[in-house]
Chain A
């Protein structure tokens, strides 16, 4: 009999070190990270075939694919943490909207190219610094995923930052579109740094990065790029929140109806 298989034993051994309580918290936390990369990956994939020029169309598909890779690592880990036999696909495709824990930013629609660039810039400025810190996590498996994805995120932040500068410091029209994008989207940047109860507990355990540290790094980095781009942030912005607790904008439902269509219509379908 042929016995070939992908070995999951090392992850299973790894999670034995955690108490049942920590495992449950980690499951929630890893799902939140997975959902975040999944939604943005899906949004970027929506650009495929519609990009303003071929090279940038390809760039968005590439970034989408990197994020999908990251999200798969998280979902596979989450499936092991839960230990109830659900697979990465079950977690990605077969939950209802309120069970998704991504921040509101990443589910916002693509809008025009300037909106997509700004959403990506806000995310990358957070994600790059987040992955840098997550590599220090006391959870070695999360640290390994971060180490892998950080290298890829380095290319992403460079790409979106350069586009923010190119468009902001470009023509009158591109500048105006970037200003409109800031007005639309900056209000979703704050939630990235508002810790949930789970994030606080895991920060105490040395597993999750301190969001207040990330906020400082984010503010400094984003301010430099926006200055170079001749763009200004509005003085007072009301920051929306809720996504990380499962309270979403209406856009998520539409996104999920696309994302889940195949698995809902043909349950268990595989390539």
Chain B
């Protein structure tokens, strides 16, 4: 069987984000490029947040997956620019997030220096109500903010916008 770059993308679909396991690294938008030269695979990835502790695990998981699929020469390159944005989350990924109970990113915060500005209305992933309240811009992981639903009173994570 001739292996193509397309096949490698499919294998990467099976590597999940260690912190949000319903997302694959492809859904997350961190795989920038896949190149096959002879029997060497070159993969370019980009970090979501620069301090994201999942990046090391993602690299290790990619190496492991490709080794299982028979690729013994793999090189991973880290690219910072252009910087990752939540616009790179796939549509499928956003759907999976919602089903998992995490509200997908909607729109960016107003200008960062516009203080106490109006925050975007986020629908509760549990009951769908739009009557929700931002508790903190900083949540359980670097990529999430913490909200509470005023209707069903449940707290929930919002995958915050970065663009």
Contact = CB atoms under 8 A, between A and B. Distances in A.
B80 A148 contact: yes
Interface in B72-125: 72-85, 109, 112-113, 115-116
A109 interface: no
Considering residues A5, A67, A140, A155, which has the most beta carbons from chain B within 10 angstroms of its beta carbon? A155
Interface string B134-158: 0111111010001000000000000
A206 B92 CA distance: 43
A102 B145 CA distance: 30
A116 to B, nearest CB: 15
Residues of B contacting A: mostly: loop
A2 interface: yes
Interface in A152-189: 152, 154-155, 157-159, 161-162, 165
Contact of B76 (A5, A55, A69): A5
Interface stretch (A24-32, A56-64, A195-203, A246-254): A56-64
Contact of A225 (B72, B76, B115): B115
B25 to A, nearest CB: 16
Interface residues of A, number: 46
A1 interface: yes
Interface of B: 42, 47, 49-53, 59, 63, 66-67, 72-85, 109, 112-113, 115-116, 135-140, 142, 146, 162-163
Nearest 6 CB-CB pairs, A to B? A69-B51, A69-B50, A144-B81, A154-B112, A62-B138, A59-B138
